[in-house]
Amino acid sequence: MAGSGPRGISTVGVIGAGQMGNGIAHVAALSGLSVVLVDVNQAALDKARATMTKNMDRQVAKGSLKAEEKDAALARIATGTEMPMLAECDIVIEAATEREEVKLSIFRDVCKLLKKEAILASNTSSIPITRLAAATDRPDRFIGMHFMNPVPVMKLVEVIRGIATSEETFDAVASLAWKMGKITAVAQDYPAFIVNRILVPMINEAVQTLQEGVGDIRSIDAAMKLGANHPMGPLELADFIGLDTCLAIMRVLHEGMGDSKYRPSPLLVKYVEAGWLGRKSGRGFYDYSQEPPAPTR
């Protein structure tokens, strides 16, 4: 039986079964909550369940999770392709692609299906929460809940209030994050919030440094790993995040802040136009068809 969550939250809906969505479902289920994971693509749902199983098996092998806890958590996760499955959820967390029009369409549709007291949250990494909330019938029960990738490993969740977000909604979501084993950083509703406001312009500057020939890929990544004590170099990290996601965030920053320092690097734009998106496409700043991955220029 699923455990009782904060302020009446016992069932969590997640929209989007990609890397972020399956990670959110993973940690929610392990915290004792019932989970409904929805995606329009059945193959994505099948892959998500396989990924969650593999990641929990790894936790069992390390001794941080018991086999029976893994089995119970996986049993708490229901999956499906139909939005009405979310009707009885206490909170629904959207984890779709970082495209505003996609998120707005999802929120317009899903808010019609939910009970009136349900909370809506977006895992957006950059899009203003107030703008997304305006597409719904419940801006007071709408909030940003930005998890970090990979969700089962990273401890932080940014919690972002929209202009209409109620104190009750904020408290419920902060408590939920704590129950899921996360530490919260509270951000105001400005483009890209805290983490990506700082991180992605650094990545963009690394791409521009590469374009200008200041250093090659290996040198840029080594400089930041060995010289600034970063665990990953910025170009390696860009590939991990996805170059399309990095570009989308830079465009949100450039539009929202109106400052030329946020202009996306032309090289980043070219890579995305070429379909070189990083790890997920097999090529970005590194070629992932070989081991170890090799720089592409």
Annotated active-site residue 146? The verdict is yes
- Would you say 125 is a known binding-site residue? yes
Q: How many CA atoms lie within 13 A of 96 on its CB side?
A: 19
- Would you say 101 is a known binding-site residue? no
- Would you say 149 is a known binding-site residue? yes
Burial of 115 (0-12, 13-18, 19+ CB in 10 A): exposed
Length of the chain: 297
d(C-alpha 60, C-alpha 76), whole Å: 17
Annotated active-site residue 10? The verdict is no
Question: Which position has the token pair 């119970």?
Answer: 72
d(C-alpha 187, C-alpha 190), whole Å: 8
- Would you say 282 is a known binding-site residue? no
Which residue among 22, 158, 254, 265 is the active-site one? 158
Which residue among 22, 31, 125, 265 is the active-site one? 125
Are the C-beta atoms of 123 and 146 separated by less than 8 Å?
Answer: yes
Annotated active-site residue 281? The verdict is no
Which residue among 31, 126, 146, 236 is the active-site one? 146
- Would you say 19 is a known binding-site residue? yes
- Would you say 98 is a known binding-site residue? yes
Annotated active-site residue 158? The verdict is yes
- Would you say 66 is a known binding-site residue? no
- Would you say 18 is a known binding-site residue? yes
Cis peptide upstream of residue 128 (ω within 30 degrees of 0): no
The catalytic residues are 125, 146, 158, 196
Query: Binding site residues, as ranges?
Result: 16-21, 39, 98, 103, 125, 149, 280
Point out the annotated binding site for NAD(+): 16-21, 39, 98, 103, 125, 149, 280
